[in-house]
Structure 1
Protein backbone atom coordinates (compact mmCIF):
# COMPACT_ATOMS: atom_id res chain seq x y z
CA UNK A 1 0.00 0.00 0.00
CA UNK A 2 1.32 3.38 -0.98
CA UNK A 3 0.65 6.28 1.42
CA UNK A 4 0.23 9.73 0.00
CA UNK A 5 1.60 12.31 2.38
CA UNK A 6 -0.80 15.00 1.02
CA UNK A 7 -3.95 12.96 1.74
CA UNK A 8 -2.74 12.11 5.19
CA UNK A 9 -2.09 15.77 5.90
CA UNK A 10 -5.56 16.72 4.57
CA UNK A 11 -7.37 14.16 6.75
CA UNK A 12 -5.31 15.19 9.73
CA UNK A 13 -6.20 18.80 9.12
CA UNK A 14 -9.94 17.99 8.82
CA UNK A 15 -9.81 16.06 12.10
CA UNK A 16 -8.11 18.94 13.80
CA UNK A 17 -10.68 21.40 12.45
CA UNK A 18 -13.56 19.20 13.61
CA UNK A 19 -11.87 18.59 16.91
CA UNK A 20 -11.32 22.28 17.35
CA UNK A 21 -14.83 23.30 16.24
CA UNK A 22 -16.75 20.66 18.21
CA UNK A 23 -16.31 22.26 21.61
CA UNK A 24 -17.34 25.58 20.15
CA UNK A 25 -20.44 24.06 18.58
CA UNK A 26 -21.30 22.25 21.77
CA UNK A 27 -20.78 25.46 23.70
CA UNK A 28 -23.08 27.25 21.28
CA UNK A 29 -25.76 24.62 21.62
CA UNK A 30 -25.41 24.70 25.39
CA UNK A 31 -25.62 28.45 25.30
CA UNK A 32 -28.70 28.25 23.13
CA UNK A 33 -30.41 25.82 25.47
CA UNK A 34 -29.26 27.84 28.49
CA UNK A 35 -30.67 31.00 26.97
CA UNK A 36 -33.98 29.30 26.24
CA UNK A 37 -34.11 27.90 29.76
CA UNK A 38 -33.19 31.30 31.20
CA UNK A 39 -36.05 32.95 29.34
CA UNK A 40 -38.66 30.71 30.99
CA UNK A 41 -38.03 31.91 34.57
CA UNK A 42 -38.08 35.53 33.41
CA UNK A 43 -41.44 35.06 31.72
CA UNK A 44 -42.71 33.20 34.76
CA UNK A 45 -41.45 35.94 37.08
CA UNK A 46 -43.18 38.55 34.95
CA UNK A 47 -46.38 36.55 35.06
CA UNK A 48 -46.10 36.29 38.82
CA UNK A 49 -45.58 40.03 39.09
CA UNK A 50 -48.58 40.77 36.89
CA UNK A 51 -50.71 38.36 38.89
CA UNK A 52 -49.52 39.87 42.17
CA UNK A 53 -50.29 43.35 40.86
CA UNK A 54 -53.77 42.27 39.80
CA UNK A 55 -54.38 40.74 43.22
CA UNK A 56 -53.11 43.90 44.88
CA UNK A 57 -55.41 46.06 42.76
CA UNK A 58 -58.34 43.79 43.55
CA UNK A 59 -57.58 44.03 47.27
CA UNK A 60 -57.21 47.79 47.00
CA UNK A 61 -60.60 48.03 45.30
CA UNK A 62 -62.14 45.95 48.08
CA UNK A 63 -60.48 48.12 50.73
CA UNK A 64 -61.68 51.31 49.07
CA UNK A 65 -65.14 49.81 48.75
CA UNK A 66 -65.18 48.86 52.42
CA UNK A 67 -63.91 52.32 53.37
CA UNK A 68 -66.62 54.00 51.33
CA UNK A 69 -69.24 51.69 52.83
CA UNK A 70 -67.97 52.39 56.35
CA UNK A 71 -67.96 56.14 55.78
CA UNK A 72 -71.48 55.96 54.37
CA UNK A 73 -72.67 53.99 57.41
CA UNK A 74 -71.02 56.44 59.80
CA UNK A 75 -72.62 59.38 58.01
CA UNK A 76 -76.02 57.68 58.09
CA UNK A 77 -75.56 56.88 61.79
CA UNK A 78 -74.84 60.52 62.60
CA UNK A 79 -77.93 61.65 60.69
CA UNK A 80 -80.16 59.08 62.42
CA UNK A 81 -78.76 59.94 65.85
CA UNK A 82 -79.39 63.65 65.25
CA UNK A 83 -82.99 62.79 64.41
CA UNK A 84 -83.28 60.87 67.69
CA UNK A 85 -81.91 63.83 69.62
CA UNK A 86 -84.52 66.00 67.95
CA UNK A 87 -87.23 63.64 69.22
CA UNK A 88 -85.83 63.97 72.75
CA UNK A 89 -85.76 67.77 72.44
CA UNK A 90 -89.45 67.62 71.51
CA UNK A 91 -90.12 65.41 74.57
CA UNK A 92 -91.21 62.53 72.32
CA UNK A 93 -89.55 60.04 74.64
CA UNK A 94 -91.44 56.92 73.56
CA UNK A 95 -90.54 57.50 69.92
CA UNK A 96 -86.95 58.27 70.88
CA UNK A 97 -86.69 55.04 72.87
CA UNK A 98 -87.93 52.86 70.01
CA UNK A 99 -85.69 54.65 67.52
CA UNK A 100 -82.71 54.20 69.83
CA UNK A 101 -83.36 50.47 70.05
CA UNK A 102 -83.41 50.27 66.26
CA UNK A 103 -80.30 52.44 66.05
CA UNK A 104 -78.28 50.24 68.40
CA UNK A 105 -79.32 47.13 66.46
CA UNK A 106 -78.35 48.69 63.14
CA UNK A 107 -75.10 50.53 63.85
CA UNK A 108 -71.79 50.02 65.58
CA UNK A 109 -70.28 53.42 64.94
CA UNK A 110 -67.48 54.41 67.36
CA UNK A 111 -68.51 58.05 67.12
CA UNK A 112 -72.21 57.79 67.85
CA UNK A 113 -72.84 54.38 69.44
CA UNK A 114 -71.43 55.30 72.91
CA UNK A 115 -73.53 58.48 72.94
CA UNK A 116 -76.58 56.50 71.85
CA UNK A 117 -76.02 53.96 74.62
CA UNK A 118 -75.69 56.77 77.16
CA UNK A 119 -78.87 58.43 75.90
CA UNK A 120 -80.74 55.12 76.02
CA UNK A 121 -79.71 54.73 79.66
CA UNK A 122 -80.91 58.24 80.46
CA UNK A 123 -84.25 57.70 78.73
CA UNK A 124 -84.76 54.42 80.57
CA UNK A 125 -85.57 56.54 83.62
CA UNK A 126 -88.74 57.84 81.98
CA UNK A 127 -91.69 55.79 83.17
CA UNK A 128 -89.91 54.28 86.16
CA UNK A 129 -90.89 54.79 89.79
CA UNK A 130 -89.24 57.23 92.16
CA UNK A 131 -87.08 55.69 94.92
CA UNK A 132 -88.69 54.49 98.12
CA UNK A 133 -86.01 56.28 100.14
CA UNK A 134 -84.43 59.50 98.97
CA UNK A 135 -81.06 59.50 100.71
CA UNK A 136 -81.32 63.05 102.02
CA UNK A 137 -78.47 64.04 104.35
CA UNK A 138 -79.64 67.54 105.16
CA UNK A 139 -82.36 70.03 104.37
CA UNK A 140 -81.18 73.61 103.93
CA UNK A 141 -84.81 74.67 103.68
CA UNK A 142 -88.04 72.77 103.28
CA UNK A 143 -88.45 69.14 104.34
CA UNK A 144 -89.34 65.56 103.44
CA UNK A 145 -92.92 66.48 102.61
CA UNK A 146 -91.64 68.13 99.42
CA UNK A 147 -90.71 64.69 98.05
CA UNK A 148 -93.97 62.93 98.83
CA UNK A 149 -95.87 61.47 95.90
CA UNK A 150 -98.63 63.83 94.81
CA UNK A 151 -101.07 64.24 91.97
CA UNK A 152 -99.28 67.45 91.06
CA UNK A 153 -95.82 67.39 89.46
CA UNK A 154 -92.61 67.75 91.44
CA UNK A 155 -89.58 69.19 89.69
CA UNK A 156 -86.16 68.02 90.87
CA UNK A 157 -83.18 70.19 90.00
CA UNK A 158 -79.66 68.78 90.38
CA UNK A 159 -77.01 71.46 90.81
CA UNK A 160 -73.75 72.40 92.54
CA UNK A 161 -72.43 75.76 93.73
CA UNK A 162 -69.31 75.57 91.52
CA UNK A 163 -71.38 75.00 88.35
CA UNK A 164 -71.64 78.26 86.38
CA UNK A 165 -74.53 76.99 84.26
CA UNK A 166 -76.38 75.92 87.40
CA UNK A 167 -76.12 79.40 88.84
CA UNK A 168 -77.45 80.79 85.56
CA UNK A 169 -80.50 78.51 85.73
CA UNK A 170 -81.41 79.06 89.38
CA UNK A 171 -83.09 82.48 88.92
CA UNK A 172 -85.25 81.05 86.10
CA UNK A 173 -86.20 78.07 88.25
CA UNK A 174 -87.13 80.42 91.08
CA UNK A 175 -89.30 82.39 88.64
CA UNK A 176 -91.11 79.19 87.62
CA UNK A 177 -91.70 78.36 91.26
CA UNK A 178 -93.14 81.77 92.04
CA UNK A 179 -95.41 81.64 89.00
CA UNK A 180 -96.70 78.07 89.32
CA UNK A 181 -96.51 77.20 93.01
CA UNK A 182 -100.10 78.30 93.56
CA UNK A 183 -101.20 75.96 90.75
CA UNK A 184 -99.59 72.97 92.47
CA UNK A 185 -95.98 72.84 91.25
CA UNK A 186 -93.35 71.71 93.76
CA UNK A 187 -89.63 72.21 93.17
CA UNK A 188 -86.77 70.61 95.11
CA UNK A 189 -83.15 71.60 94.58
CA UNK A 190 -80.68 68.74 95.16
CA UNK A 191 -76.94 69.03 95.65
CA UNK A 192 -74.27 66.58 96.80
CA UNK A 193 -72.00 69.46 97.93
CA UNK A 194 -69.21 67.92 95.86
CA UNK A 195 -65.79 69.13 94.82
CA UNK A 196 -65.02 72.61 96.12
CA UNK A 197 -68.60 73.12 97.31
CA UNK A 198 -69.38 73.63 100.99
CA UNK A 199 -72.61 73.73 102.93
CA UNK A 200 -71.93 77.37 103.72
CA UNK A 201 -71.53 77.99 99.98
CA UNK A 202 -74.91 76.38 99.32
CA UNK A 203 -76.55 78.65 101.87
CA UNK A 204 -74.89 81.68 100.28
CA UNK A 205 -76.32 80.75 96.87
CA UNK A 206 -79.77 80.31 98.41
CA UNK A 207 -79.55 83.77 99.92
CA UNK A 208 -77.99 85.36 96.84
CA UNK A 209 -80.79 84.27 94.49
CA UNK A 210 -83.55 84.44 97.12
CA UNK A 211 -84.49 80.83 96.51
CA UNK A 212 -87.73 79.94 98.27
CA UNK A 213 -88.19 76.33 97.09
CA UNK A 214 -86.88 73.42 99.21
CA UNK A 215 -83.16 72.66 98.88
CA UNK A 216 -81.48 69.51 100.21
CA UNK A 217 -78.12 67.77 100.31
CA UNK A 218 -78.37 64.20 98.96
CA UNK A 219 -75.91 61.33 99.31
CA UNK A 220 -75.60 60.67 95.57
CA UNK A 221 -78.10 57.83 95.40
CA UNK A 222 -80.79 60.06 93.91
CA UNK A 223 -78.40 61.19 91.20
CA UNK A 224 -77.73 57.56 90.31
CA UNK A 225 -81.43 56.75 90.19
CA UNK A 226 -82.03 59.60 87.76
CA UNK A 227 -78.81 58.88 85.81
CA UNK A 228 -77.33 62.32 86.39
CA UNK A 229 -74.26 62.48 84.15
CA UNK A 230 -74.00 66.26 83.98
CA UNK A 231 -75.43 69.33 85.66
CA UNK A 232 -77.65 71.22 85.71
CA UNK A 233 -80.14 68.42 85.19
CA UNK A 234 -83.82 68.25 85.99
CA UNK A 235 -86.49 65.60 86.29
CA UNK A 236 -90.21 65.67 86.90
CA UNK A 237 -92.25 63.01 88.67
CA UNK A 238 -95.97 62.80 89.23
CA UNK A 239 -97.90 60.27 91.30
CA UNK A 240 -94.68 58.39 91.96
CA UNK A 241 -93.68 58.01 88.29
CA UNK A 242 -90.92 59.87 86.48
CA UNK A 243 -92.48 61.61 83.49
CA UNK A 244 -89.70 63.89 82.26
CA UNK A 245 -85.92 64.23 82.36
CA UNK A 246 -83.58 66.74 80.73
CA UNK A 247 -81.92 70.14 80.94
CA UNK A 248 -83.92 72.59 83.08
CA UNK A 249 -83.55 75.23 80.37
CA UNK A 250 -85.98 73.23 78.22
CA UNK A 251 -88.79 73.62 80.73
CA UNK A 252 -91.40 76.27 80.07
CA UNK A 253 -94.52 77.36 81.90
CA UNK A 254 -96.59 75.90 79.09
CA UNK A 255 -94.87 72.52 79.41
CA UNK A 256 -95.25 72.45 83.20
CA UNK A 257 -98.89 73.53 83.03
CA UNK A 258 -99.57 70.54 80.78
CA UNK A 259 -98.71 68.36 83.79
CA UNK A 260 -100.72 70.32 86.35
Structure 2
Protein backbone atom coordinates (compact mmCIF):
# COMPACT_ATOMS: atom_id res chain seq x y z
CA UNK A 1 0.00 0.00 0.00
CA UNK A 2 1.02 3.61 -0.46
CA UNK A 3 1.48 4.21 3.28
CA UNK A 4 3.78 1.23 3.63
CA UNK A 5 6.11 2.20 0.78
CA UNK A 6 5.81 5.98 0.90
CA UNK A 7 9.55 6.42 1.57
CA UNK A 8 10.50 4.29 -1.47
CA UNK A 9 10.30 5.37 -5.14
CA UNK A 10 7.44 2.95 -5.79
CA UNK A 11 5.42 4.45 -2.92
CA UNK A 12 6.04 7.97 -4.17
CA UNK A 13 4.82 7.14 -7.68
CA UNK A 14 1.77 5.31 -6.33
CA UNK A 15 1.05 8.34 -4.16
CA UNK A 16 1.18 10.68 -7.17
CA UNK A 17 -1.28 8.56 -9.07
CA UNK A 18 -3.87 8.14 -6.32
CA UNK A 19 -3.36 11.01 -3.87
CA UNK A 20 -6.96 12.16 -4.34
CA UNK A 21 -8.14 9.00 -2.56
CA UNK A 22 -6.76 10.41 0.69
CA UNK A 23 -8.10 13.23 2.85
CA UNK A 24 -6.17 16.52 2.62
CA UNK A 25 -4.85 15.82 6.12
CA UNK A 26 -3.48 12.40 5.09
CA UNK A 27 -1.94 13.88 1.95
CA UNK A 28 -0.04 16.41 4.04
CA UNK A 29 1.13 13.71 6.47
CA UNK A 30 2.20 11.36 3.67
CA UNK A 31 4.04 14.07 1.77
CA UNK A 32 6.20 14.55 4.89
CA UNK A 33 7.29 10.91 4.64
CA UNK A 34 8.31 10.88 0.99
CA UNK A 35 11.93 9.95 0.37
CA UNK A 36 14.17 13.04 0.57
CA UNK A 37 14.95 12.35 -3.05
CA UNK A 38 11.50 13.63 -4.09
CA UNK A 39 10.84 16.21 -1.37
CA UNK A 40 11.32 19.15 -3.73
CA UNK A 41 9.61 17.77 -6.80
CA UNK A 42 7.07 20.01 -8.55
CA UNK A 43 4.47 17.27 -8.52
CA UNK A 44 4.70 16.94 -4.76
CA UNK A 45 4.60 20.70 -4.32
CA UNK A 46 1.41 20.89 -6.38
CA UNK A 47 -0.24 18.08 -4.40
CA UNK A 48 0.66 19.71 -1.08
CA UNK A 49 -0.65 23.12 -2.13
CA UNK A 50 -3.84 21.51 -3.33
CA UNK A 51 -4.28 19.68 -0.01
CA UNK A 52 -3.56 22.80 2.03
CA UNK A 53 -6.17 24.71 0.06
CA UNK A 54 -8.77 21.97 0.49
CA UNK A 55 -7.97 21.83 4.19
CA UNK A 56 -8.53 25.56 4.56
CA UNK A 57 -11.87 25.45 2.78
CA UNK A 58 -13.33 22.21 4.14
CA UNK A 59 -16.50 21.94 6.25
CA UNK A 60 -16.09 23.46 9.70
CA UNK A 61 -13.49 25.97 8.51
CA UNK A 62 -14.02 29.71 8.30
CA UNK A 63 -14.77 31.07 4.85
CA UNK A 64 -12.13 33.08 2.98
CA UNK A 65 -13.32 36.57 2.16
CA UNK A 66 -13.30 37.70 -1.46
CA UNK A 67 -14.29 40.84 -3.35
CA UNK A 68 -15.52 40.45 -6.93
CA UNK A 69 -16.90 42.88 -9.54
CA UNK A 70 -20.68 42.62 -9.35
CA UNK A 71 -23.10 42.64 -12.23
CA UNK A 72 -24.37 46.14 -11.49
CA UNK A 73 -20.87 47.57 -11.95
CA UNK A 74 -20.00 47.76 -8.27
CA UNK A 75 -18.17 45.30 -6.06
CA UNK A 76 -19.50 42.38 -4.13
CA UNK A 77 -17.81 41.51 -0.85
CA UNK A 78 -18.64 38.04 0.44
CA UNK A 79 -18.31 38.99 4.13
CA UNK A 80 -21.04 41.67 3.77
CA UNK A 81 -23.50 39.13 2.41
CA UNK A 82 -22.66 36.56 5.08
CA UNK A 83 -23.07 39.16 7.81
CA UNK A 84 -26.57 40.13 6.66
CA UNK A 85 -28.03 36.64 6.15
CA UNK A 86 -28.58 33.43 8.10
CA UNK A 87 -27.22 31.28 5.32
CA UNK A 88 -25.23 32.11 2.19
CA UNK A 89 -24.88 29.83 -0.80
CA UNK A 90 -21.96 30.57 -3.09
CA UNK A 91 -22.87 29.13 -6.48
CA UNK A 92 -20.06 28.85 -9.06
CA UNK A 93 -21.43 28.42 -12.57
CA UNK A 94 -21.07 29.62 -16.17
CA UNK A 95 -23.44 30.24 -19.08
CA UNK A 96 -21.50 27.71 -21.22
CA UNK A 97 -21.75 24.96 -18.59
CA UNK A 98 -24.56 22.49 -19.42
CA UNK A 99 -24.75 20.86 -15.96
CA UNK A 100 -24.90 24.35 -14.37
CA UNK A 101 -27.86 25.31 -16.53
CA UNK A 102 -29.58 22.00 -15.80
CA UNK A 103 -29.23 22.58 -12.04
CA UNK A 104 -30.39 26.22 -12.12
CA UNK A 105 -34.17 25.58 -11.85
CA UNK A 106 -33.47 23.81 -8.53
CA UNK A 107 -31.50 26.79 -7.30
CA UNK A 108 -34.24 29.20 -8.42
CA UNK A 109 -36.92 27.27 -6.55
CA UNK A 110 -34.68 27.03 -3.47
CA UNK A 111 -34.28 30.80 -3.53
CA UNK A 112 -38.02 31.38 -3.86
CA UNK A 113 -38.69 29.10 -0.90
CA UNK A 114 -35.97 30.20 1.48
CA UNK A 115 -34.86 33.73 0.68
CA UNK A 116 -37.42 35.23 3.05
CA UNK A 117 -36.27 32.85 5.76
CA UNK A 118 -32.70 34.08 5.56
CA UNK A 119 -31.01 32.42 2.58
CA UNK A 120 -28.94 34.53 0.21
CA UNK A 121 -27.24 33.21 -2.90
CA UNK A 122 -24.17 34.66 -4.54
CA UNK A 123 -23.74 33.62 -8.17
CA UNK A 124 -20.10 33.63 -9.23
CA UNK A 125 -19.74 33.11 -12.94
CA UNK A 126 -16.76 31.61 -14.78
CA UNK A 127 -17.83 33.39 -17.96
CA UNK A 128 -15.57 35.56 -20.10
CA UNK A 129 -18.13 37.34 -22.22
CA UNK A 130 -20.19 39.94 -20.37
CA UNK A 131 -23.20 39.89 -22.70
CA UNK A 132 -23.55 36.10 -22.69
CA UNK A 133 -23.24 36.11 -18.89
CA UNK A 134 -25.90 38.80 -18.37
CA UNK A 135 -28.28 37.18 -20.85
CA UNK A 136 -27.99 33.82 -19.09
CA UNK A 137 -28.78 35.42 -15.73
CA UNK A 138 -31.88 37.03 -17.20
CA UNK A 139 -33.07 33.96 -19.14
CA UNK A 140 -32.68 31.63 -16.19
CA UNK A 141 -34.40 34.00 -13.80
CA UNK A 142 -31.49 34.29 -11.35
CA UNK A 143 -32.62 37.17 -9.17
CA UNK A 144 -29.86 36.99 -6.54
CA UNK A 145 -26.57 38.95 -6.49
CA UNK A 146 -24.27 38.06 -9.38
CA UNK A 147 -20.55 38.61 -9.74
CA UNK A 148 -17.79 37.68 -12.16
CA UNK A 149 -14.24 38.65 -13.01
CA UNK A 150 -15.01 37.54 -16.59
CA UNK A 151 -11.74 35.60 -16.61
CA UNK A 152 -13.03 32.06 -17.14
CA UNK A 153 -11.04 29.61 -14.93
CA UNK A 154 -8.35 32.12 -14.03
CA UNK A 155 -10.36 33.52 -11.14
CA UNK A 156 -10.47 34.08 -7.40
CA UNK A 157 -12.58 30.96 -6.70
CA UNK A 158 -10.10 28.59 -8.32
CA UNK A 159 -7.23 30.38 -6.56
CA UNK A 160 -8.69 30.73 -3.04
CA UNK A 161 -11.17 27.86 -2.87
CA UNK A 162 -9.51 25.39 -5.20
CA UNK A 163 -12.63 25.00 -7.36
CA UNK A 164 -11.77 22.62 -10.21
CA UNK A 165 -15.21 21.86 -11.63
CA UNK A 166 -18.56 23.59 -11.93
CA UNK A 167 -21.34 23.71 -10.86
CA UNK A 168 -19.73 24.08 -7.42
CA UNK A 169 -21.58 25.21 -4.31
CA UNK A 170 -20.36 26.31 -0.90
CA UNK A 171 -22.81 26.80 1.95
CA UNK A 172 -21.78 29.23 4.72
CA UNK A 173 -23.60 29.98 7.96
CA UNK A 174 -23.98 33.41 9.60
CA UNK A 175 -20.77 32.95 11.61
CA UNK A 176 -18.83 32.48 8.39
CA UNK A 177 -18.36 28.74 8.90
CA UNK A 178 -18.46 26.48 5.84
CA UNK A 179 -21.18 23.90 6.49
CA UNK A 180 -21.48 22.21 3.10
CA UNK A 181 -19.86 21.92 -0.31
CA UNK A 182 -20.76 20.41 -3.63
CA UNK A 183 -24.39 20.13 -2.55
CA UNK A 184 -27.06 20.02 -5.26
CA UNK A 185 -30.72 19.28 -5.77
CA UNK A 186 -32.39 17.46 -2.92
CA UNK A 187 -29.31 17.23 -0.74
CA UNK A 188 -28.84 20.99 -0.93
CA UNK A 189 -32.49 21.70 -0.17
CA UNK A 190 -32.49 19.35 2.83
CA UNK A 191 -29.42 21.04 4.33
CA UNK A 192 -30.91 24.50 3.85
CA UNK A 193 -34.25 23.36 5.26
CA UNK A 194 -32.69 21.85 8.38
CA UNK A 195 -30.86 25.04 8.99
CA UNK A 196 -33.64 27.56 8.39
CA UNK A 197 -36.77 25.81 9.59
Note the alpha carbon deviations across 1:60-85, whole angstroms, 9 max, x for none. xxxxxx9xx86578668878853x4x
Q: Which has the larger radius of gyration?
A: 1
Distance 1:244 1:104, change over 3 A: farther
Q: Does 1:184 align with 2:111?
A: no
Which runs of 5 or more structure 2 residues have no equivalent in the other structure?
none
Listed as ranges, the matches of 1:76-95 within 5 Å are 81-82=20-21, 84=22
CA RMSD of aligned residues (A): 3.8
SS in 1 for 2:115: helix
TM-score normalised per structure 1 = 0.51
Give 1:152 deviation, angstroms: 0.9
Aligned to 1:159: 93
Give 1:155 deviation, angstroms: 0.5
Q: 1:170 aligns with which of 81, 91, 104?
A: 104
Q: Does 1:253 align with 2:186?
A: no
Aligned to 1:204: 135
Q: 2:170 aligns with which of 230, 235, 239?
A: 235
Query: Hey, what's the Cα distance between the residues in 2 that align with 1:243 and 1:205?
Result: 28
Give 1:257 deviation, angstroms: 3.1
SS in 2 for 1:177: helix
Which runs of 5 or more structure 1 residues have no equivalent in the other structure?
1-65, 85-95
Aligned to 1:123: 55
Distance 1:253 1:73, change over 3 A: same
Distance 1:76 1:129, change over 3 A: closer
TM-score normalised per structure 2 = 0.64
Distance 1:76 1:163, change over 3 A: closer
Any conservation in 1 of the 2:121–2:145 contact (CA below 8 Å)? yes
Query: Hey, what's the Cα distance between the residues in 2 that align with 1:147 and 1:75?
Result: 43
- Which one has a larger percent helix, Structure 1 or Structure 2? 1
Aligned to 2:30: 103
Query: Hey, what's the Cα distance between the residues in 1 that align with 2:114 and 2:93?
Result: 21
Aligned to 1:135: 68
Give 1:207 deviation, angstroms: 2.9
Query: Hey, what's the Cα distance between the residues in 1 that align with 2:164 and 2:183?
Result: 14
User: Which structure would you say has the larger RCO, counting Cα contacts within 8 Å and 6 or more residues apart?
Assistant: 2
Any conservation in 2 of the 1:156–1:189 contact (CA below 8 Å)? yes
Any conservation in 1 of the 2:124–2:146 contact (CA below 8 Å)? yes
Query: Hey, what's the Cα distance between the residues in 1 that align with 2:104 and 2:170?
Result: 15
